[in-house]
């Protein structure tokens, strides 16, 4: 599989818009008179990764054969498929199977651009991956849980790969192809039919713990207190996270806080220290190291590149 990198930019008044991300673009317009969109694209005929920065636009597209995941980092994306409408804000996730849809993206305000990462691949490749992995796929629908372990891993991999590419530090071709193959396996696992129709007690505890972590990540949270609130021991909660394929509860919480800090940094409204504190992070040395490991750049670089 051959891969390549393309960086393109369009402004208001251009004769044609050809993002080369979808099967067919039926219509496109900017929402502002001085509209601009920049696209960084990695991939070939199979899996494609892209980063989109835009002042805001309205696009109608047809995608009959591919699965698409959208990871907005700044701004809002709203999608209409037939009579159904769904949206995602910074830090959220949307996923679509083959469809025709209208998408409107808006930036959070001047001078910050709408920014999102995108992953798309043929459903045929996903079907083949599922066959090899002995998985049975369910119907693809809009997906809204960015804190799920696999989704968080996909978001991180896609973001880091694109960030390194934009920083002129792209993965070698063989490493990139291996990473794209891993993404196909992760997507197949997300869409696999569950082995049991009912969630176990451990899985329910994990879901409850994740909900509390997302809701209260900016506050001090101890594993002991969290387990007590859920009516179990710290050890049993750790085992439940492991059995559900998650890292430790502490690492999951740390990743939720890092994602929250990234959203604040991309908004450009606070400095690095304030973004860390508002996300529940108090150890700044560890924060910088963990942030670079997760996103491939420092907090200051994210803040400086927000436009």
CATH of the domain at 247: 1.10.10.60
End-of-domain residue from the set 159, 191, 223? 191
Q: Which range among 17-31, 81-95, 114-128, 186-200 shows the weakest confidence by mean pLDDT?
A: 186-200
Same domain, 133 and 246: no
pTM (predicted TM-score):
0.66
Flag whether 222 is in a domain. yes
pLDDT higher than 80, residue 297: yes
The residue written with tokens 């159904």 in the block is 84
Three-class HEC string of 124-158: HHHHHHHHHHCCCECCCCCCCCCCCHHHHHHHHHH
Same domain, 133 and 45: yes
**Residue 229 is part of which domain span?**
201-304
Band of residue 16 on the pLDDT scale cut at 50, 70, 90: very low
Band of residue 8 on the pLDDT scale cut at 50, 70, 90: low
Flag whether 196 is in a domain. no
Same domain, 86 and 118: yes
Same domain, 145 and 266: no
End-of-domain residue from the set 139, 161, 191? 191
104 forms bridges with which residues in the sheet? 58, 78
Same domain, 240 and 279: yes
Residue 9, CA atoms < 13 Å, CB-side half-sphere:
6
- The CA-atom distances, in angstroms, between 142 and each of 69, 111, 120, 167 are 9, 30, 14, 31
Same domain, 169 and 293: no
Same domain, 119 and 145: yes
What pLDDT does residue 150 have? 65
For residue 187, the SS3 value is helix
Residues 11 and 34: their CA atoms lie apart, in Å, by 7
Flag whether 172 is in a domain. yes
302 forms bridges with which residues in the sheet? none
What total number of domains does the chain contain? Answer: 2
Band of residue 105 on the pLDDT scale cut at 50, 70, 90: very high
Which H or E run includes 85? strand 84-89
Q: How many Å separate Cα 95 from the centre of its chain?
A: 10
Taking CA 148 as the corner, what is the angle to CA 87 and CA 226, rounded to the nearest 5 degrees? 115
C-alpha Rg value of the chain to the nearest Å: 20
Same domain, 205 and 242: yes
Same domain, 187 and 225: no
End-of-domain residue from the set 191, 209, 224? 191
What pLDDT does residue 166 have? 86
């Amino acid at each position: 599989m051959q891969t390549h990198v393309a960086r393109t930019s369009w402004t208001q008044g251009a004769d044609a818009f050809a993002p080369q991300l979808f099967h067919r673009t039926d219509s496109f317009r900017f929402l502002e008179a001085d509209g601009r969109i920049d696209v960084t694209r990695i991939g070939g005929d199979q899996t494609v990764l892209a980063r989109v920065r835009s002042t805001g636009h309205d696009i109608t597209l047809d995608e009959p054969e591919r699965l698409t995941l959208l990871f907005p980092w700044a701004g809002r994306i709203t999608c209409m498929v037939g009579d159904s409408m769904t949206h995602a804000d910074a830090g959220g996730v949307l996923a679509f199977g083959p469809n025709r849809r209208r998408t409107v993206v808006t930036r959070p305000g001047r001078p910050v651009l709408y920014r999102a990462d995108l992953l798309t691949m043929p459903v045929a490749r996903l079907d083949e991956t599922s066959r090899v992995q002995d998985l049975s796929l369910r119907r693809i629908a809009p997906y809204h849980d960015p804190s799920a372990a696999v989704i968080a891993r996909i978001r991180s991999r896609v973001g880091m790969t694109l960030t390194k590419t934009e920083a002129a530090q792209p993965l070698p071709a063989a490493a990139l192809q291996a990473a794209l193959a891993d993404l196909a396996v992760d997507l197949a696992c997300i869409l696999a039919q569950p082995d049991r129709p009912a969630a176990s007690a451990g899985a329910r505890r994990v879901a409850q713990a994740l909900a509390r972590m997302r809701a209260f990540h900016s506050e001090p949270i101890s594993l002991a207190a969290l387990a007590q609130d859920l009516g179990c021991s710290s050890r049993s909660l750790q085992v439940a996270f492991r059995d559900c394929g998650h890292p430790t509860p502490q690492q999951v919480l740390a990743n939720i806080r890092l994602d929250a800090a990234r959203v604040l940094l991309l908004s450009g409204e606070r400095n690095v220290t304030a973004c860390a504190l508002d996300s529940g992070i108090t150890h700044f040395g560890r924060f910088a190291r963990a942030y670079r490991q997760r996103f491939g750049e420092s907090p200051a670089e994210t803040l400086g590149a927000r436009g």
